[in-house]
């Protein structure tokens, strides 16, 4: 139920005073409400749950996580 899927913001507009956008989920495009991420820009990645963006995805944090886990892997190879 708390499923939330990453997608890329294609455009941003207002409908009936709601901040909305079209989101690309790897080829499938759906509309979502962006009210909770007023700082969103076109091209940002966001995480969508029941038609609402819950947050933007932080690219730097994603890279750091992958680098951290890669470091574990490299350590394995050295050992």
Q: Which residues are at the interface with another protein (CB under 8 A)?
A: 1-4, 6, 8, 16-18, 25-26, 33, 35-38, 45, 47, 49-52, 54-55, 57-59, 61-62, 64-66, 69-70, 72-73, 76
Q: Provide the minimum distance between the beta carbon of 54 and another protein in the complex, in angstroms, as a whole number.
A: 5
Mark 39-64 as b/e (b = at least 16 C-beta within 10 Å).
Answer: ebeeebbbebeeeebeebeeeeeeee
Q: How far is 11 from 22, CA to CA, in rounded Å?
A: 6
Closer residue to another protein in complex, CB, 11/15: 15
User: Which CB sits closer to another protein, 11 or 77?
Assistant: 77
The number of beta carbons lying within 10 Å of the beta carbon of residue 32 is 21
Least CB distance to another protein at residue 51 (A):
3
């Amino acid at each position: 139920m708390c499923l939330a899927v990453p997608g890329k913001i294609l455009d941003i507009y207002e409908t009936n005073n709601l901040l909305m956008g079209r989101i690309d989920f790897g080829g499938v495009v759906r509309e979502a409400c962006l009210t909770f991420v007023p700082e969103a820009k076109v091209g940002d990645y966001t995480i969508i749950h029941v038609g609402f963006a819950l947050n933007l995805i932080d690219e730097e944090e994603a890279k750091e996580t992958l680098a951290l886990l890669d470091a574990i892997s490299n350590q394995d190879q050295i050992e």
